[in-house]
Amino acid sequence: MIRFIVKRLLAMIPLLIGISFLCFAILQLAPGDFVESLTSGRQFSAAFRRQLTHEFGLDKPWPVQYLLWLGNALRFNFGISLATREPVAGMLWERMGNTLILSLCAFAFAWGLAIPLGILTAVKRNSWLDRVCSLFAFSGAAIPGFFLALVAMLFAHITGLFPIGGMRRADFEDLTGAQQLLDLVHHLVLPTLVLGIVDCAFIMRQMRGSLLDTLRENYITAARARGLPEHKVVLKHALRNAANPLITVLGFSLADLLSGAALIENVMAWPGLGRLILASVQNKDVYMVMGSFTMGALLLMLGNLAGDILLAVADPRIRMGR
């Protein structure tokens, strides 16, 4: 297992380098640069603009700029933000933590609700509960996430039960530790629901379909013929085998939540990586964009790696390379 994990981690290095190169190359296709964005609409001399371009290192060919950035990034130095003049790494760690808080809460909500609902709808197939949950699943999968976010913000505005966007209140620093935790949870409720609903609908349908297939197996019929109670047949014999396909889904689910969080963050003003990337692209802050995309890609790959590790634990053939 250790060899399997080490191989996957080593394979992530060239993949990250390739992603960063493509990202840097695509950024060069955009018209203008940070200096042009900074001085747009202002009366600055051409000499001053050339001085700024040289100071920011934007006067070099873009392959040279990329190699210089990559050399620093391999030493975990992502440079200085052109817009704020602050270290990119410090801003990334803060925003990445916020994104992880939101994504992991949505992950726990989606799986914690989807698995029991999937089991109940499979056991009570074609009942009113199954029909209601199926309606919820298809609605959750069909409605775009940004629309759900807008509806949630409208609900917060009308009812006043939840804050309209953001992660904390204005006087957050003056609160006690317990009050800060409650305030964070209060701000987390709506973004977590919006981000987790789509994933919950998908996982519930997967759990239902997998369990229904397992309940048709011959060994389940044999267990029932031996007089075992139905709850033992489902929970002890069927559920374990039905859960195996969900292990593959787990890694992709976490990765989807991390990528989907970027949209929810921008709509609901959650200060995560998604908002940082959008602001950096708008400001043409190339070093902040590169750092944000690289960390986002790393989080996605770690999510997939987590799913692969769990799958390798369940199936020894995978970690043995067969």
Query: DSSP string of 99-165?
Result: HHHHHHHHHHHHHHHHHHHHHHHHHTTTSHHHHHHHHHHHHHHHS-HHHHHHHHHHHHHHH-SS-SS
CB 275, CB 63: distance < 8 Å: no
Which pLDDT value is given to residue 90?
Answer: 82
Which pLDDT value is given to residue 41?
Answer: 55
Q: Are residues 69 and 107 in the same domain?
A: no
- 109 versus 42: which is more confidently predicted? 109
Q: Are residues 224 and 298 in the same domain?
A: yes
Q: How much is the average pLDDT of 109-117? A: 89
The CATH number linked to 249 is 1.10.3720.10
Inside any domain, residue 119 = yes
- Picking from 42, 73, 104, the residue at the C-terminal end of a domain is 73
- Picking from 45, 73, 101, the residue at the C-terminal end of a domain is 73
26-30, 47-51, 306-310: segment of lowest average pLDDT: 47-51
The boundaries of the domain holding residue 125 are 88-144+196-319
- Picking from 47, 73, 99, the residue at the C-terminal end of a domain is 73
CB 242, CB 236: distance < 8 Å: no
Q: How much is the average pLDDT of 95-101? A: 84
Q: Are residues 118 and 239 in the same domain?
A: yes
Residue count of the chain, please give it.
322
Q: How much is the average pLDDT of 272-299? A: 80
Q: Whole-prediction pTM value? A: 0.77
Q: How much is the average pLDDT of 179-195? A: 88
- Ordered alpha helix ranges (H), 160-243: 177-215, 218-225, 230-232, 239-242
Q: Are residues 277 and 308 in the same domain?
A: yes
Inside any domain, residue 23 = yes
Inside any domain, residue 168 = no
Domain count, the chain: 2
Q: Are residues 261 and 119 in the same domain?
A: yes
Residue indicated by tokens 């989907």: 260
Which pLDDT value is given to residue 314?
Answer: 63
Q: How much is the average pLDDT of 270-282? A: 81
User: What is the separation of C-alpha 123 from the centre of its chain, rounded to a whole number of angstroms?
Assistant: 32
Q: Are residues 11 and 112 in the same domain?
A: no
Average pLDDT of the chain to the nearest whole number: 80
- 156 versus 313: which is more confidently predicted? 156
Q: What's the rounded Cα separation, in Å, for the pair 139 and 134?
A: 8
Q: How much is the average pLDDT of 140-149? A: 80
Q: Are residues 128 and 261 in the same domain?
A: yes
| pLDDT higher than 70, residue 42 | no
Q: Give 80's strand partners.
A: 87
Q: Are residues 92 and 31 in the same domain?
A: no
Q: Are residues 8 and 99 in the same domain?
A: no
